[in-house]
Amino acid sequence: MNPQEQLIALKPEKEFFIGIDSDGCAFDTMEIKQKECFCPNFIKYFRMQPVSKYARETWEFVNLYSTYRGCNRFLAINETLRLLATRPEIKARNFTVPSAAPLIEWIKKETKLGNPTLKKYADDINDPFITQTLEWSLKVNEDIEKMVFGMTPFPFVKECLEKIKSTADVMVVSQTPFEALKREWEENRIDHFLRMIAGQEHGTKAEHLKYAAKGKYADEKILMIGDANGDLKAAKSNGVLFFPINPGKEEESWEKLYIEGLNRFFAGKFKGAYEENLIEEFETYLPEHPNWK
Model confidence pLDDT, tens digit, residues 42-69:
999 999 999 999 999 999 999 999 999 9
Q: Ramachandran region of residue 152, left (φ > 0), alpha (ψ -120 to 50) or beta?
A: beta
- The CATH architecture that domain 3-28+153-282 belongs to is 3-Layer(aba) Sandwich (3.40)
pTM tops 0.85: no
pLDDT tens-place string over residues 18-45: 999 999 999 999 999 999 999 999 999 9
| Neighbouring C-alpha atoms within 13 Å toward the C-beta of 149 | 6
Other C-beta atoms lying within 10 Å of the C-beta of residue 85: 16
CA distance 173 to 222: 13
pLDDT tier at 291 (50, 70, 90 boundaries)? confident
CA distance 196 to 217: 16
Other C-beta atoms lying within 10 Å of the C-beta of residue 249: 16
Asked if the model's pLDDT at residue 166 lies above 80, the reply is yes
